[in-house]
Amino acid sequence: MFKFLRITILLTVLLVVAGSQWLTTKRMANWDKPLWVTIYPVLTNADAGVRRYVHGLKPESFRNVGLFIGQQAARYGYQLDTPVVFQVAKPLTKSPPELPVENSGFKVVLWSLKMRWWAWKNAREKGLAPSDVRMFVIYNKVDPDKLLERSVGIKNASYGVVNAVGSPHMAARDRIVISHELLHILGATDKYDLRTGQPFAPAGLANPEKQPLYPQHRAEIMGGRIATSPQRWRRPPTLKSCVIGTRTATEIGWL
């Protein structure tokens, strides 16, 4: 009897969460109201420079993400004065669950459940407005010899995990990653080879009608890189070097 009751309660909670998430996703897809995004900085590094940088973050630190989305939306006939509103929470000191190494469905679902539980326990700061998306940004110190862990935005969910560098010199790069993962949450898919990083043609190219096709001069945001040839690419320096292509625009409801 107790086991049956426990399962019933769990299923009820999951249905409520799923229903709430469906309504939130439907509202976000309409683009008729600003999208509220809460940045939760995650500080697990004792580096003093990283801590100073993180404690200095403000909503204005992420303003360019909203400007980018607004400018790109205008290309598709959407006049969004304030597409995204950011707020910054106090830094967290506990790391979110580690991402699975393999992208198997079961492991991703299991990680997602762990992530929801972790977020419920750790991301409940008073005084913040209710948010549509919670972005957990793990700030690392600058280390040219170490690759950052991958970032993730869960499609049709309400959160993402971004691995970033806690330095003003890397802020522009971090904003590109945050924009990329935010669009994942809104339904956009990756448009690059996960093994090589090479953007797919044509969907992963900023200007797929350019003749000759290469070199490209900007990056499609979900392609993530500027393709200089069919086998080579370079990273965009800022969001000004990025665009939202037609395939991505379709996926997020602009076309």
Read off φ and ψ for residue 176, nearest 5 degrees: -65, -45
Answer yes or no: are the C-beta atoms of 91 and 102 closer than 8 Å.
no
Q: What is the mean pLDDT of each run of 10 residues along the chain (255 residues)?
A: 60 54 56 93 88 96 97 93 94 89 74 87 88 95 72 82 94 97 95 95 97 98 97 97 98 94
Report the amino acid identity of residue 160: G
For position 86, what pLDDT does the model report? 97
pTM over 0.85: yes
Cis peptide before 41 (omega within 30 of 0): no
Rounded distance, CA 119 to CA 166, Å?
22
Q: Facing residues of 164 across strands?
A: 139
| H or E stretch covering 164 | strand 159-165
For position 146, what pLDDT does the model report? 62
Matching residue, tokens 């998430």: 21
